[in-house]
């Protein structure tokens, strides 16, 4: 019986630790966690209540038909206008507002295009990539490539 008592102590310690863990967990885990899967269900309503910032490509098409047509024929056709020009819901609702589409300045053009096109080993081999240090290092990208028709 003497050898059995030390096991009882270990079991009691584990039981107290388990009950303590479950109690702390019940305090920390939100009530809506797990109702709609492995996340907090209340977050759906919270995210839906956030203000919108992006207008979407259809809003751009209304006023910028030529740029849309050019882009539709190019390799950039799958990229949203707001990926390059920024969130433009305010501009789409009121084109005369101060919320203008972002147009990279000539000095920042290489870095701007380089976000997507700088050569890295993580991109597929067929993806258009350039070594910014070697590919026309003194010229902005738009000197040779028009963004809406890059080829």
pLDDT band at 79 (very low <50, low <70, confident <90, very high): confident
Domain ranges of the chain: 2-48, 54-103, 104-151
Q: What is the pTM of this model?
A: 0.62
**In which element (H, E) is residue 91 found?**
helix 89-93
In terms of Cα–Cα distance, which of 148, 5, 18, 12 is closest to 84? 148
pLDDT digits (tens, 9 = 90+) for 94-132: 888 887 888 888 888 888 888 888 888 898 888 888 898
pLDDT digits (tens, 9 = 90+) for 10-27: 999 999 999 999 999 999
């Amino acid at each position: 019986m003497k050898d059995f008592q030390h096991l009882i102590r270990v079991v009691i310690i584990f039981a107290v630790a388990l009950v303590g863990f479950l109690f702390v967990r019940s305090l920390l885990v939100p009530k809506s966690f797990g109702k709609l899967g492995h996340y907090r269900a209340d977050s759906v309503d919270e995210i839906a209540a956030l203000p919108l910032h992006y207008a979407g490509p259809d809003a751009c098409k209304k006023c910028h038909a030529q740029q849309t047509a050019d882009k539709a024929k190019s390799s950039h056709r799958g990229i949203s206008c707001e990926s390059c020009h920024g969130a433009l819901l305010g501009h789409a609702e009121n084109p005369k507002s101060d919320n203008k589409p972002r147009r990279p300045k000539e000095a920042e053009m290489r870095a701007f295009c380089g976000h997507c096109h700088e050569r890295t080993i993580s991109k597929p081999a067929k993806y258009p990539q350039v070594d910014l240090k070697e590919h026309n290092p003194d010229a902005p990208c738009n000197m040779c490539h028009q963004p809406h028709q890059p080829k």
